[in-house]
Amino acid sequence: MQSISANLNIMIKAAEKASRALIRDFGEVEKLQVSIKGPSDFVSNADLKAEKIIIEELKKARPYYSIISEEDGSEKNKDKNNTWIIDPIDGTTNFLHGVPHFAISIALKSQDEIVSGVIYDPIKDEMFYAEKENGAFFNNQRVRVSKKRDLSSCLFATGGQSKKEFDLPLRKSGSAALDMAYVAAGRFDGYFENNLSIWDIAAGIIILKEAGGMINEIDLSQNKNIEVKASSMAINAKMLEKLENF
C-alpha cells in the first residue's frame, strides 16, 4: 500500500469499520423494499449508526479534532484548526431504494484547506483516497483525470432536481462524492451540481485536485448551498462554455 499519513490511515480504518455495518443494513433495506411503509426509518438509523462508528474511530485517535457531519455528530472541539468532515452515507436516496451506489465520505480540513480525503463504496469495495501533494489513489493504484479533449467522447455527471438542459452527455448517479471520485479516476470527464453540502464534496475536492483535476473556488466556511463545477484539465474550458446558464 502507498505510504500514507497516520491521519489518512485513521480515516480509511474508520470508513472500513462503518462499511461493515452499512453492508449488513443495505441487505435489510433490500428486503424492506416490499414493506408498505418502506425502509425510511431503518435507513435513517443506518445513517446514524454509521456516523456513530466513524466518529468513535476518529475520536479514539484524535479526541480534540472538531467535527462537521451530515447527521447528528457535528461539534466544535478544542482543536479548531483540524476538522473532520463526514458524510456517513452519500447517496442516501440510492441506499433507501436499494440502489447499490453510495459511499462513505470522510475529509480532514486543516488550517482552512482540505488536506486529505477518503471516499469508500462498500458494495463495490472501491476505495478512493488522497492527501495533499501525495497524489490520488483508487484501491491503492495511482489515478489521474482523463485526457480526452473532444466533448463527444466525454461523459459528465450531475445531480439534484434542476430541470435545465445542457448540451453535454450526462449521467445522474445520486452520489456527489462518487461523481467526484469518478472524475478523479477518469471514469467521468466532469461533474457539476449546485445546492450541495460541504460533507457531500469535501473528500472529493482533494481527491480530484490530487488527480490533476480542476474545480471552482469553494468557500469552505460555508456548509450548504455550494456549487461545484469540476473536470479534467483537458475538457474544463469546453465544459464551462456549456454551463453558461447553470
- Asked if 82 interacts with ligand LIP (CB under 6 A), we say no
Element housing 69 (H / E): strand 65-69
Annotated active-site residue 189? The verdict is no
Catalytic residue among 70, 121, 131, 189: 70
- Asked if 92 interacts with ligand LIP (CB under 6 A), we say yes
Nearest to 203 by CA among 105, 134, 124: 105
> What type of residue sits at position 230?
A
Considering the complex, state which of residue 7 and residue 158 has its C-beta at the smaller distance from ligand LIP. Answer: 158
H helix intervals, 33-164 = 40-61, 92-96
Annotated active-site residue 90? The verdict is yes
- Asked if 176 interacts with ligand LIP (CB under 6 A), we say yes
SS3 label, residue 199 = helix
What is the contact mask toward ligand LIP in residues 182 to 221, using x (rule: CB under 6 A)? -----------x--x---x---------------------
CB of 167 to ligand LIP, least distance (A): 21
- Asked if 121 interacts with ligand LIP (CB under 6 A), we say no
- Asked if 90 interacts with ligand LIP (CB under 6 A), we say yes
Which residue in this structure is represented by grid cell 480532514? 108
Annotated active-site residue 121? The verdict is no
Report whether 199 contacts 69 (CB < 8 A): yes
Among 87, 121, 131, 189, binds ligand LIP (CB under 6 A): 87
Considering the complex, state which of residue 7 and residue 175 has its C-beta at the smaller distance from ligand LIP. Answer: 175
Strand 103-110 versus strand 79-90 pairing type? antiparallel
Report whether 190 contacts 213 (CB < 8 A): no
- Asked if 160 interacts with ligand LIP (CB under 6 A), we say yes
Among 73, 122, 159, 190, binds ligand LIP (CB under 6 A): 159
Listed ranges 2-10, 90-98, 142-150, 180-188: which one lies at the site for ligand LIP (CB under 6 A): 90-98
Catalytic residue among 200, 205, 215, 235: 200
What's the Cα-to-Cα distance from 41 to each of 33, 47, 96, 206, 223, rounded to whole Å?
12, 10, 10, 33, 25
Rounded-to-integer distance, Cα 165 and Cα 147, Å: 25
Strand 190-196 versus strand 79-90 pairing type? unpaired
Could you say which DSSP state residue 152 is in? G
Which positions are catalytic? Answer: 70, 87, 89-90, 92, 200
- The residues of the shown chain that bind ligand LIP, judged by CB under 6 A, are 70, 87, 90-92, 159-160, 174-176, 193, 196, 200
